[in-house]
Amino acid sequence: MPIEFNDLDVVSEVAGLSSALIVPCNMCPAVSVAIREKKSFMKFFRSFLKSIPFEQYIRTLQCRLREKGLRTKVFRSNLYHQWFLCMWPSGQRKKLQKHAKQYEAVIVLGCDSATETVRDSVKSTDCKVFEGMEVAGFMNAKLRFHLPCNISFEDCKIIPMSQQKKEEDVSV
Ligand code: SF4
């Protein structure tokens, strides 16, 4: 961890539906977006426990979905122990199940494990689950603190996952 992501064309996939609940994992995707945009991951004094680049990314996604006629909402996980979708407590899963009933689709921003958490949480509803991102590899980076209290990453490298590496080696 953390994981690096590519965006998927989820806006085209959900076109034709009328509503979607966006469920972001606040950890790896937020780091990935901050690194790709070359911005600080977190500025504690400006936005406590929120990653501004990831918030902007989500807002842009909401705008694009609105243009396609979808009503959207973001399912927030503000407490630190709820940031990691792969380790959500049962209370948060039940809360998602309740909220998801009001939407046709759920869009997951996270890895396959995040999607599994969401699928498991909404399995008793009619909600369709879509992935907004795909895993591109592992991130290797140097974490840096800047004054007054900012966190960013430097010297970032993408490390392929073992399976990706095997496939690349076979195709050479
Ligand atoms: S759910 Fe996936 S993306 Fe989110 S913290 Fe866990 S490993 Fe990272």
Q: Please report which helix (H) or strand (E) contains residue 109, including its range.
A: strand 105-109
How far apart are alpha carbons 51 and 27 in whole angstroms?
9
* Ligand 1 site-directed mutation target among 77, 80, 84, most atoms within 8 Å of CB: 84
How far apart are alpha carbons 161 and 137 in whole angstroms?
5
Sequence-ordered list of residues with C-beta below 8 angstroms from that of 83, at least 6 positions apart, any chain:
25, 26, 27, 77
Q: What residue ranges line ligand 1, CB within 6 angstroms?
A: 1-3, 25, 27-29, 84-86, 110-111, 113-114
User: What spacing in Å lies between the alpha carbon of 86 and ligand 1's midpoint?
Assistant: 5
What pLDDT, in 10s, does the model give residues 118-154? 999 999 999 999 999 999 999 999 999 888 778 899 9
Q: What does DSSP say about strands 133-146 and 128-131: parallel, antiparallel, or unpaired?
A: unpaired
* Ligand 1 site-directed mutation target among 4, 6, 25, 54, most atoms within 8 Å of CB: 25
Reply yes or no on whether the pLDDT at 84 is more than 80. Answer: yes
Query: Is 47 in a helix, a strand, or coil?
Result: coil
DSSP state of 168: H
Atom of ligand 1 nearest to the CA of 26: 4
How far apart are alpha carbons 42 and 139 in whole angstroms?
17
Rounded to two decimals, the pTM is 0.91
